[in-house]
Amino acid sequence: MQSESGTHDTTRIDDTRIRAVRPLITPALLQEKLPVPDTTQALVESSRTAISTVLHGQDDRLIVVVGPCSIHDHAQALEYARQLKKQADSLGEELLLVMRVYFEKPRTTVGWKGYINDPHLDGSFAINEGLELARRLLLHVLALGVPVGTEFLDLLSPQFISDLVSWGAIGARTTESPSHRQLASGLSCPVGFKNGTDGSVKVATDAILAAQAEHAFMGMTKMGQAAIFETRGNQDCHVILRGGKQPNYSHADVNAACTLLKASGLPEKVMVDVSHANSSKQHTRQIAVTTDVASQIAAGDTRICGVMIESHLHEGRQDLLPDAALQYGVSVTDACISMAQTVPLLQALATAVQARRRLSRR
């Protein structure tokens, strides 16, 4: 319908399924409110460098990304970080510990989307508050001296928190996404690409090649302005084996993955996620899988550069139910092993690294 002023009414064809549009805080405003202290900046820089040296075979330590499946409570996450810091100090000669601090959860259908999207766990979607709470938590964890790793799912949220992240992951559902490969090419931290949900490692190797290249794409600046970003490419990317239709953590699976990497001209380095399909979604099987991976490391396999473990203060998982109190320190997404179960695994992995070192010196 043409109005007398000459404007055109597009309400019948534009945003017809949008219920509401709310203002979003800009990354620059959030970073001004919650800036990076000098000591935190130094930790992020040094831990990124350390992870890179492991990925490029210049450091024989094992990267261990360990922590809750997802973050849903600030105090509980900090308590986990305090306990993890003790292990990092004790096992630092063998393990490079990074706390898993995941704020965004990909859903197969529907469900709670994570701390940023819904920090109150009640469908109120207080995203501005979630972004602030997420950044504040990262700063508090880093202040304890613990580097953090997270999954990059949303394409805009990295602008709010990625300056604090030492290691990032692109999940199995998004490894094949061109947008996430482009995002990884411009991220300042090392990035792990998980194999596809069907178990395809080729998808992840293709993703690494794409992320190493230069790209130009549309995005949002720290000031909240739409812009075109041109990236330099990320040379600190690697494959994460997380299983598919069947587990893929065995020595034969590592061989197969490294054969693909070599054929693509990529370093033969893999990280093993002992959860998800590798544990057949049975959280306690992470113990057996980690034990198997540790035995491979102890036997001298230098291609295994890292391990991922889903671990919380206490074992298991719980549902989000209306008006029901949550158990302290228990996951609200995938089931986790407890910290008490995690500590022996970390010690076993450290012992395996020591054994690998002895073999390499012969």
C-alpha span between 102 and 84 (Å, rounded): 16
Can you tell me the mean pLDDT for 232-261? 98
For residue 17, being part of any structural domain is answered with: no
User: What total of structural domains would you count in the chain?
Assistant: 1
Asked, for residue 127, whether it belongs to a domain, the answer is: yes
* Alpha-helical segments (H) within the chain: 27-33, 38-55, 74-91, 127-143, 158-161, 178-186, 202-212, 251-263, 285-298, 339-360
Query: Given this model, what pLDDT does residue 2 score?
Result: 47
pLDDT at position 126: 97
Q: Scanning the structure block, which residue is given the tokens 């034969």?
A: 252
Q: Do the domain assignments include residue 181? A: yes
Q: Confidence band (pLDDT; 50, 70, 90) for 1?
A: very low
11-22 tens-digit pLDDT? 789 999 999 999
d(CA 246, CA 37): 44
Cα–Cα distance for residue pair 303/299, rounded to 1 Å: 12
Kindly state whether residue 21 falls inside one of the protein's structural domains. Answer: no
Angle between helices 74-91 and 127-143 in degrees, nearest 10: 30
Q: Would residue 114 count as lying in a domain?
A: yes
Give CA–CA dist 65/302, Å, rounded.
18
Rounded CA-CA distance 61/87 in Å is: 14
pLDDT at 305 exceeding the cut of 70:
yes
Residue 171's closest CA among 123, 247, 240? 240
| Rounded-to-integer distance, Cα 30 and Cα 223, Å | 10
What is the CB neighbour count within 10 angstroms for residue 9?
Answer: 10
The answer to whether residue 327 is domain-embedded is yes
Output the pLDDT for position 252: 98
> What is the domain-level CATH number for residue 191?
3.20.20.70
Which residue range forms the structural domain that includes residue 239? 27-360
Q: How many CA atoms lie within 13 A of 344 on its CB side?
A: 8
Answer whether residue 11 is part of any domain.
no
pTM (predicted TM-score): 0.95
292: CB partners within 8 A, 6+ apart: 249, 250
**CA-based end-to-end distance of the chain:** 83
For 311, the 3-state DSSP assignment is strand
Domain-located, residue 4: no
CA 66, CA 275: separation in Å to the nearest integer? 11
Other residues' Cβ atoms within 10 Å of the Cβ of residue 313: 20
Q: How would residue 108 be classed by pLDDT, with cut points 50, 70 and 90?
A: low
Q: Per-residue pLDDT for 100 more than 70?
A: yes
